[in-house]
A and B are shown apart, each in its own frame.
Chain A
Amino acid sequence: MDACAAVEKEVERVIGKFSGISEHSANVTTDLIKTFEDLKEAIGENGQEHLTEKQKDLLLETINQTNMKLVAISTEHRDLHGAVSKVGKVVDRNFVSDFSAFTRTSQNEENTHLLNKVMAKHYFRQGMDDIATLLIKECNMPEDQANEVFESKSNFAEIYNIWKSILNYNLMPALKWADQYSEELELKSSSLQFKLHRLAFLQILSEGMEYQSDAILYARQNFSKFIGRFEKEIQNLMGTFLYLPSGIRNSPYKDLISNEMWTEASYVFLKDACNILGISKNSALSVIVNAGCTALPSLLNIKQVMLSRQVHGIWSDRDELPIEIELDPEYRYHSIFACPILRQQTTDDNPPKKLTCGHVISNDALHKLSNGSNVLKCPYCPVEQHSEDAVRISF
């Protein structure tokens, strides 16, 4: 079963039981309070000074019952312990708590400083200067490093703030930005402007019937230039007028006012704006962290295999990760040539070489193939050649 679902099932059970016992204990105590208050009244009802034997027996009996009921509540609560601790067990069973095998133990001070610096840069880049400043203060960052953070200013902060305001349902800054860059946006055939105007239109519409004419006016002013590219979408938007009296929320167009529309628009803004300004939408830190989050599960997996074969320390004494990590092509920044013969990455000491026939193999493979003599046959086409004729190349 899916890890989260397994835990959720147990949490739901606990919530159910707590709600049950909450109600039950409230009922029992309320009843008991009433019983004792009634008794207190009743024993003095006839104006007598002393209790009768019958009253004594009744009291003793009630006390006895009360004690039993109270102990029952306490026991009932104690019995929930099983359900509560089950949650912890299911969390432990379904989630991994130990990553010690992945880290180099030498977490030295310099790396801590460097990590603080890149975190400060990350938040400074997003225009969250206050976070960066607090961090610098709390970690006692040396002044020269702090200055480096403040010099790293990029124009991403503006983009980030506009992105945030879209997520807070404020379109004004984004519309203004899109207006300023409308030529560039059109050149890239970006859908941003249309998506922003669409949201603005729907925002007016959701104010209610009395804003109908405002909405029509907005549509006429802003949608005409999109008619070529977004005809179908505009038809849909105009269709919403049909359902305005009964509310769009209950209409076939309800998807148009869902929250996803805002997330989507904010993302398109982030992507297109960064593209136009030629900056990355992710900071270096977030690229690395996301790559790490992709890599960790596979590394955990391989760890288990390696432990079962008694191979220790994935990081410690190797130059290379034991497995290839699949990342999005956009996060590949360098050409890597893996020798097709030796299945090894080439390095400065073992560079790629082009044979006379045009095939590329690594220097080590070249030497292995020529086997002491300096004549070899290309493994891909049977051209015989001298190993000195191979040319060192760079990608």
Chain B
Amino acid sequence: MELKSLEHSTLKVPYEILNKKFRTAQKNLDREVNQIQYSTKEVEKALKNPVVDVSEIQKLLGGVVERLQVLKRKANESISDELAASYICKRKLQHLQEIASADNSEAAVDQWKRIRMDRMVIEHFLRMGYYEAAEKLASKTDIRELTNLDIFQTSRDVEEDLAEHKTTKCILWCTDNKSKLRKINSNIEFQLRVQEFIELIRSNQRPEAVKYSRKYLTAFKEQMSEISEVMALLAYPVNTTIEKYKSLFNESRWNDLVLSFRNENYRLFQLSNQSLLSVAVQAGLSALKTPQCYSANSKNMNCPVCQDDFNKIAANLPYSHCAQSRLICRITGLPLNEHNLPMMLPNGQIFGQLAIPKISKENGVVVCPITNTKFTHPKIEKVFVM
């Protein structure tokens, strides 16, 4: 059940990679087959002559053999790539299935959960762009093959390129994923082209900018209004004070590009826009959160929600729901039940029966550990919780 709800991206990402490898392989095969057909056509053409030289045909046949060898190598490489991608899917599946077979061993479950935690943190790091930490954690915990580090490696390269105000790698990425990006209706390529255009103007290469716009911007017919807006830049100086155009010249647009690239990359792999870790943290905080976590005198330092940082994160989250009382003695940490009856001190504080001797001094003095009030021979009453 937990697997079903939480592990979609663990499997979907390698599938998307497999799918992409498949398309590349198909393209390679088709290209090589075409090449061979081209060279066999040459042979056919030569054969049509009334007199055909043996040496010429031999030369042409040699060409065919060469092309065939290329096909053999390419086919082998491509299909090995596909197989490798399939085995990655399989490896991840096997890891997920380990938890089912580990059901009766507390130790194995504990370890599996530790790995899950590291996997989730790595994914979160990658999404936030903390690539080095992610890389290091994966190699240190030896779970690289269970993560999606590889797809994020590409995005890291692209992001670094964008951060240096270069679009080459991102454009390459767009071409690489052209059909998929069209399917999800992405306009990232348009944004990149616009930025390039702006940069040309910024460096005062206006004629080049016009050339560029003719070459690249005309393809985006749906964005006509935006295009005319940026085209207007041709008429303005770089240090213009008109808000609309000033913002187009703003360098922070590059940071926006990084973010929108990241977003498109998630969409490409159908990753949700929040990391599983942050979702799990929110759900977990809610499941543990009680009103006591926010009341100064009932905090429990073992409780994660009572700790400062989490306390703040959980501030806006809903409390856990509890339809049946669940009582724990604050002195012994033991549950209050028929073996450890709840007892009330005169000040209304309840402790387990087993804890009473621990707070009783000689001469019948009892000290309440919560309020530090001293009682002499107090009346300690049983209470009944249904």
On whether the beta carbons of A95 and B283 are closer than 8 Å, the reply is no
Q: A297-B5, A335-B330, A358-B382 are in contact. Are A289 and B284 (CB under 8 A)?
A: yes
* Residue in contact with A3 in the complex, picked from B4, B26, B36, B117, CB distance below 8 Å: B4
Q: A99-B279, A267-B111, A334-B292 are in contact. Are A289 and B120 (CB under 8 A)?
A: yes
State whether the Cβ of B121 lies closer than 8 Å to any Cβ in chain A: yes
State whether the Cβ of B7 lies closer than 8 Å to any Cβ in chain A: yes
On whether the beta carbons of B300 and A393 are closer than 8 Å, the reply is no
Complex-state Cα separation, A210 to B84, whole angstroms: 42
Q: List 10 A-B contacts (CB under 8 A).
A: A15-B90, A18-B79, A44-B54, A74-B29, A95-B3, A95-B4, A285-B281, A293-B2, A333-B306, A335-B327
B54 to chain A, nearest CB (A): 5
* Residue in contact with A84 in the complex, picked from B18, B121, B348, CB distance below 8 Å: B18
On whether the beta carbons of A289 and B117 are closer than 8 Å, the reply is yes
On whether the beta carbons of A30 and B321 are closer than 8 Å, the reply is no
- Return the chain A residue nearest B4 by Cβ: A3
A179 to chain B, nearest CB (A): 22
State whether the Cβ of A263 lies closer than 8 Å to any Cβ in chain B: yes
* Residue in contact with B280 in the complex, picked from A289, A322, A343, A394, CB distance below 8 Å: A289
Most chain A CB within a 10 A radius of its CB, from B93, B130, B282, B303: B282
Inside 8 A of A130's CB, which chain B residues have their CB?
Answer: 136, 140
The contact string, 1 if C-beta is below 8 Å from chain A, for chain B 14-26, is: 0110110010011
* Residue in contact with A87 in the complex, picked from B18, B83, B287, CB distance below 8 Å: B18
* Residue in contact with A63 in the complex, picked from B40, B313, B321, B328, CB distance below 8 Å: B40
On whether the beta carbons of B89 and A11 are closer than 8 Å, the reply is yes
Complex-state Cα separation, A312 to B270, whole angstroms: 23
Most chain B CB within a 10 A radius of its CB, from A26, A167, A345: A345
Inside 8 A of B385's CB, which chain A residues have their CB?
Answer: 337, 340, 360
Q: A60-B44, A284-B307, A335-B327 are in contact. Are A3 and B130 (CB under 8 A)?
A: no
Complex-state Cα separation, A243 to B210, whole angstroms: 84
Those of A307-362 within 8 Å (CB) of chain B: 315, 318-325, 327, 329, 331-338, 340, 343, 345, 347-348, 354, 357-360
On whether the beta carbons of A134 and B19 are closer than 8 Å, the reply is no
The contact string, 1 if C-beta is below 8 Å from chain B, for chain A 95-137, is: 1111110111011001110110111011100001011001101
Inside 8 A of B1's CB, which chain A residues have their CB?
Answer: 297
Those of B102-119 within 8 Å (CB) of chain A: 105-108, 110-111, 113-114, 116-117
* Residue in contact with B79 in the complex, picked from A25, A289, A337, A345, CB distance below 8 Å: A25
State whether the Cβ of B123 lies closer than 8 Å to any Cβ in chain A: no
The contact string, 1 if C-beta is below 8 Å from chain A, for chain B 121-133, is: 1001100111111
Q: A320-B318, A336-B326, A337-B327 are in contact. Are A4 and B2 (CB under 8 A)?
A: no
A359 to chain B, nearest CB (A): 5
On whether the beta carbons of B280 and A293 are closer than 8 Å, the reply is yes
* Residue in contact with A336 in the complex, picked from B47, B110, B136, B290, CB distance below 8 Å: B290
Complex-state Cα separation, A286 to B280, whole angstroms: 10
State whether the Cβ of A172 lies closer than 8 Å to any Cβ in chain B: no
Inside 8 A of B290's CB, which chain A residues have their CB?
Answer: 333-334, 336, 345
* Residue in contact with B40 in the complex, picked from A66, A260, A359, CB distance below 8 Å: A66
Q: A30-B72, A297-B2, A354-B383 are in contact. Are A91 and B12 (CB under 8 A)?
A: yes
On whether the beta carbons of B2 and A73 are closer than 8 Å, the reply is no
Size class of A's contact patch?
35 or more
State whether the Cβ of A213 lies closer than 8 Å to any Cβ in chain B: no
The contact string, 1 if C-beta is below 8 Å from chain A, for chain B 334-346, is: 0110000010100
Tally of A-B Cβ pairs under 8 angstroms:
421
Complex-state Cα separation, A119 to B285, whole angstroms: 15
Complex-state Cα separation, A106 to B37, whole angstroms: 59
On whether the beta carbons of B319 and A26 are closer than 8 Å, the reply is no
Inside 8 A of A285's CB, which chain B residues have their CB?
Answer: 117, 281, 304
Complex-state Cα separation, A33 to B75, whole angstroms: 14
Interface residues in chain A, defined as those with a beta carbon under 8 Å from any beta carbon in chain B? 2-5, 7-8, 11-12, 14-15, 18-19, 21-22, 25-26, 29-30, 32-33, 36-37, 39-40, 43-44, 48-51, 56, 59-60, 63, 66-67, 70-71, 73-74, 77-78, 80-81, 84-85, 87-88, 91-92, 94-100, 102-104, 106-107, 110-112, 114-115, 117-119, 121-123, 128, 130-131, 134-135, 137-139, 167, 260, 263-264, 266-268, 270, 280, 284-297, 299-300, 315, 318-325, 327, 329, 331-338, 340, 343, 345, 347-348, 354, 357-360, 380, 391-395
Q: A118-B309, A264-B107 are in contact. Are A70 and B75 (CB under 8 A)?
A: no
Inside 8 A of B19's CB, which chain A residues have their CB?
Answer: 84-85, 88
On whether the beta carbons of A81 and B8 are closer than 8 Å, the reply is no
Q: Told that A138-B133, A292-B280 touch, could you supply 15 new A-B pairs with CB distance under 8 A?
A: A4-B100, A22-B79, A87-B89, A99-B272, A264-B107, A285-B281, A286-B117, A293-B116, A297-B2, A321-B320, A321-B321, A336-B320, A340-B325, A394-B298, A395-B350
On whether the beta carbons of A97 and B8 are closer than 8 Å, the reply is yes
A114 to chain B, nearest CB (A): 5
Inside 8 A of B55's CB, which chain A residues have their CB?
Answer: 44, 49
On whether the beta carbons of B272 and A393 are closer than 8 Å, the reply is no
The number of residues on chain B lying at the interface, defined by a beta carbon within 8 Å of a beta carbon of chain A, is: 141
Q: A60-B47, A84-B22 are in contact. Are A263 and B137 (CB under 8 A)?
A: no
Q: A43-B54, A95-B8, A321-B319 are in contact. Are A359 and B79 (CB under 8 A)?
A: no
Inside 8 A of B280's CB, which chain A residues have their CB?
Answer: 288-289, 292-293, 296
On whether the beta carbons of B89 and A294 are closer than 8 Å, the reply is no
Q: A8-B90, A59-B57 are in contact. Are A293 and B6 (CB under 8 A)?
A: yes
- Return the chain A residue nearest B30 by Cβ: A74
Inside 8 A of B312's CB, which chain A residues have their CB?
Answer: 110-111, 114
* Residue in contact with B76 in the complex, picked from A26, A119, A393, CB distance below 8 Å: A26
Complex-state Cα separation, A340 to B383, whole angstroms: 14
Complex-state Cα separation, A277 to B116, whole angstroms: 26
Inside 8 A of B258's CB, which chain A residues have their CB?
Answer: none
B21 to chain A, nearest CB (A): 9
When A and B form their complex, which 5 residue pairs have the shortest distance between CB atoms, in order from nearest?
Answer: A292-B284, A267-B107, A333-B303, A292-B280, A284-B304
State whether the Cβ of B235 lies closer than 8 Å to any Cβ in chain A: no
State whether the Cβ of B241 lies closer than 8 Å to any Cβ in chain A: no
Q: A73-B33, A88-B15, A95-B11 are in contact. Are A29 and B72 (CB under 8 A)?
A: yes
Inside 8 A of A131's CB, which chain B residues have their CB?
Answer: 133, 136-137, 140
